[in-house]
Structure 1
Amino acid sequence: MTWKQWAASKRLKPGDGRALQRFRWWQLPLRSLFWLRLGSVLLLVIGVGLNLLQLAEPVSRIPPVAQRVGTFESPVHLPVWLNLALGVMAVLASMERALRLRYSSLLDMAGH
């Protein structure tokens, strides 16, 4: 028996035959995984969205692209340190989602 199995067996208590308590929707905001998931989705969407907006401006100024599509001026101009921080946070959020094997139809729509 491994240490994890032993520790899990100590946490278990014998039941008395009654049914388990129902899940209640108002308990969800109190759970830490809810906030972790919400935070990772928000960081991913905000980080990637803002960085893509700012990346579109220099790419649209390349002469062949500018002739075909026109130029784009980004409505958002963030300092370099904030761009880097948002990029790093977006990478960490996507790694968290990948390592936990989380699926979101909104975020994973582009992959299909």
Structure 2
Amino acid sequence: MTVVFEEMRKRRAARRVKPGDGHPLPRFRWWQLFGRSLFYLDLTDAVYAVDVRHNRIDAEGYTNADLYVDGRHHARSRLPAAFPVPGGKIEVKVSAFGLKRCHYVTAGGTERRLRPDRFSAEGRREHLDRVHPALSRGISVVSTTVLLVSLAFLVMQLLEKLTQPAPIAAQIGTFVSPVDLPVWLNIALGVAAALASTERAWRLRFNWLLDGGAG
């Protein structure tokens, strides 16, 4: 059954891929820092580039990924995308905060992340990790901590609301959150969680529980 579903998924992904028009790959500009992701894959036959414009939605409401080969537009697919390339495929997936996957997967199942453009947010974050590893680890810890705290408060607030109805309260009692945050602090925590998930997206880190609930 798993094999059948996998084949169906592959066929759907293949149908989403449309041929490109050959236009050149635009340079990455500084003002695209928060709205564009650009990654590269160097293979023996060519250099492949995956370009995702997060703020561009097509007529059907989807975000698309564009594949360039040696600087020329080769294909386009709505996300999630699976572009066939020599020796395997390039898988691209997006979250509410950026990319959560941009990997080259070989026919044998091995995979590696594509190389981000140096001037993109992902590239700058990777550069920080390489030049200042201690600072990078500290930022990563802060991001994860913010999301864990946000998740804890969210769970407590949900439990409080879910146990308020009389039939439920009569059966299991009413849960009262030990922390009652003011509105402004709730908003601030939400903004901090969104920023933390964005930082994690720059590292292509995604957890359905942490990052999925941050928005």
**TM bin (shorter chain):** 0.5 to 0.7
The correspondence for 2:153, drawn from 36, 50, 67, is 50
2:152 counterpart letter in structure 1? G
Query: Could you tell me which residue of structure 2 aligns to residue 38 of structure 1?
Result: 141
CA positional deviation for 1:79 = 0.9
Tell me the TM-score normalized by structure 1. Answer: 0.56
1:90 and 2:193 aligned? yes
Structure 1 residue identity aligned to 2:157: Q
**Residue in structure 2 matched with residue 74 of structure 1 by the alignment:** 177
Q: Which structure has greater strand proportion?
A: 2
| Cα distance in 2 between the residues matched to 1:41 and 1:55 | 21
Post-superposition offset of 1:73: 0.8
Amino acid corresponding to residue 82 of structure 1 in structure 2: L
What is the CA–CA distance in structure 1 between the aligned matches of 2:178 and 2:160, rounded to whole Å? 10
SS of residue paired to 2:175 = coil
SS of 1:61 mapped into structure 2: coil
Q: Cα deviation per residue 1:3-62 (whole Å; 9 max; x = unaligned)?
A: xxxxx9xxxxxxxxxxxxxxxxxxxx9722111101101111112212321232122102
Moved more, 50-59 or 33-42: 50-59
1:12 maps to none
Which one-letter code corresponds to 2:149 in the other structure?
I
Q: Is the 8 A contact 2:151 2:210 kept in 1?
A: no
State the shift of 1:67 in Å: 4.0
Say whether the 8 Å CA contact 1:60–1:72 is kept in structure 2. Answer: yes
Equivalent residues of 1:44, 1:90 under 8 A apart: yes
Structure 1 residue 87: Cα displacement:
1.6
Of the two structures, which has the highest relative contact order with CA contacts closer than 8 Å and spacing of 6 or more? 1
Structure 2, unpaired ranges of 5+? 1-26, 28-117, 119-131
Question: Where do 5+ consecutive residues of structure 1 fail to align?
Answer: 3-7, 9-28
Counterpart of 1:5 in structure 2 is none
Give, in angstroms, the shift of residue 76 of structure 1.
0.8
Aligned length: 82
CA distance in 1, matches of 2:201, 2:169: 36
Q: 1:100 to 1:65 in 2, by over 3 A?
A: farther
- Structure 1: how far apart are the matches of 2:179 and 2:158? 11
Say what the alpha-carbon RMSD is for the aligned residues.
3.0
